[in-house]
Chains A and B, each alone.
Chain A
Amino acid sequence: MQTLAYYLSFPFVRYALVVGVLISLCASLFGVTLVLKRYSFIGDGLSHVAFGAIAIATVLKLSNNTLLVMPITILAAVVLLKSGQNAKLKGDSAIAIFSVSAMSIGYVLMNVFSASSNVAGDVCCTLFGSTSILTLKKEDVWISAVFSVLVVAVFVIFYNRIFTVTFDETFAKASGIKTNAYNFLIAIVIAVIIVLGMNLVGSLLISALVVFPALAAMRLVNNFKGVIIASAVIAVVSALAGMIASIYLSTPTGASIVICNLISYLIACLVGKIKH
């Protein structure tokens, strides 16, 4: 308890906890749609693209990575979604090409141009997130907070339409809903969430924040609103538990959060089995 109190006496630790919770919340809300629409692969592909973008930002020695990484990732989201609808290059193979290209270009760039004495450490940090939430920068915290609030607002305002487009795109389109516009909206929001989450859990693990709470919630609840709420609760609890555990056990923050998500998922599977 003392350790926790000691950590919490630092304002940036408190900020980090808030941001961790907010990002997890955003990821879990849109995660439900992503999983149901069979779009989870987009999240995975985008995180790799974001890695490449971060490498470029590092090489260019930008003061703030997010300002470059965000537009690149959003652009990639739009391209991936378009190619997913294109019959010539199927979505999953497009993702594979995107992912490995972005990762290898990024890694080469970081090795060749980086002035840092610890390239391996930088790469590891980008892949698996900050080793400790203490290394989060204050401006990142603010950017995350603002975007998180925006993402939640978008979700609430478009909730009914997101449901309709997720459940039955053809019907939605026939009713005059601009389904393509909503697909792009979803892809762009996912890109934003992934970029925000990179600081927290790194590019390799960010998909976990998107997928795990949604899958766990679907084991427990049978209606859409319930799944959304359960997913949000599971995400927030897992994120808090993970961050607090990482303080106590001095484990890497990102991986700890993901492990807590995994545990939540396993518990949900068990409870779901017993219920039926």
Chain B
Amino acid sequence: MAYITCKDLSLGYDGQVISEKINFDVKKGDYLCIVGENGAGKSTLMKTLLHLIEPISGSIEYGDDISLTQIGYLPQQTQIQKDFPASVKEIVLSGTISAGTFKPFYSSSDKEKALKNMERMDILDLKNKSYRSLSGGQQQRVLLARALCATEKMLILDEPVTGLDPKVTAEFYRLIKQLNKEGLTVIMVSHDLQAAINYATHILHVGKIQQFFGPTEDYLESCAFRKFSGFGGEE
């Protein structure tokens, strides 16, 4: 059974539809890239998947072996975070907090999990460094480690390479692909069409009405792709 199945979804704010007729599913081990023009509802779709906002109509179903709280989310960076006094360890640990039973303090298994994921993201040596002193790429790795503390199954990333230089961007994409190969399901919102084609197994192209959903190979043959890349989405 699929992790997430969306049927005839309409999205928007305050009853205003931004994007409609969205149909897709995400299975275990998939790497789905959500592409589309600015304002087409990519981020809105992501927030709807996370139930941060409610869909206007249609349904989102989660499979039996995944629940909403087992999704690790990597949001876009906010202004507040740029000069936030917090150590890497504090931020990664905060990923272990989840809904359900209320525990005021971190347990030793929470701390182990945080250490393990810092090691996995190769940021263990930055453990006591301040987040605001890190480079953009390092900051993304910290937030990724935090997201990994929240999930072992699925990652949702919102334009994760915004503001990173090309070399760091390429490294970051490789890192995500590596996690995907280790069995993690990935959903990524991206405006980088080339990277989406290179790394994703599936593409969802949203617009006022959904343009395409299917495997990446098929997307390359679709007229949605030809039209979109002709607009300058690709170099």
A203-B73 Cα distance, complex, nearest whole Å: 42
Contacts of B90 in A (CB 8 A): 163, 223-225
Q: Which residue of A lies closest to B110 (CB)?
A: A160
- Tell me, yes or no, whether A262 is within 8 Å of chain B by CB: no
- Report B201-228 CB contacts with A as 1/0, cut-off 8 Å: 0000000000000000000000000000
* Stretch with Cβ within 8 A of B (4 or more), from A10-18, A89-97, A173-181, A192-200: A173-181
Contact (Cβ within 8 A) B85 A177 = no
Do A160 and B87 form a contact, CB below 8 Å, given A36-B80, A168-B81, A176-B68? Answer: no
Contact (Cβ within 8 A) B80 A223 = no
Q: Which of A163, A174, A225 is in CB contact (< 8 Å) with B52?
A: A174
Contact (Cβ within 8 A) A224 B86 = yes
Q: Which of A38, A156, A174, A218 is in CB contact (< 8 Å) with B50?
A: A174
A183-B130 Cα distance, complex, nearest whole Å: 25
- Report B114-153 CB contacts with A as 1/0, cut-off 8 Å: 0000000000000011101100000000010011001000
Contact (Cβ within 8 A) A160 B99 = no
Do A176 and B98 form a contact, CB below 8 Å, given A37-B80, A160-B104, A160-B106? Answer: yes
- Tell me, yes or no, whether B105 is within 8 Å of chain A by CB: yes
- Tell me, yes or no, whether B59 is within 8 Å of chain A by CB: no
Q: Which residue of A lies closest to B90 (CB)?
A: A224
Contacts of A159 in B (CB 8 A): 104
Contacts of A36 in B (CB 8 A): 80, 84-85
- Tell me, yes or no, whether A157 is within 8 Å of chain B by CB: yes
Contact (Cβ within 8 A) B104 A170 = no
Beyond contacts A167-B80, A174-B52: 6 other A-B pairs, Cβ-Cβ < 8 A, are A170-B73, A171-B75, A173-B50, A176-B68, A177-B97, A223-B85
Closest 9 CB pairs of A and B: A176-B99, A222-B130, A223-B87, A174-B73, A164-B94, A170-B75, A224-B86, A176-B69, A174-B50
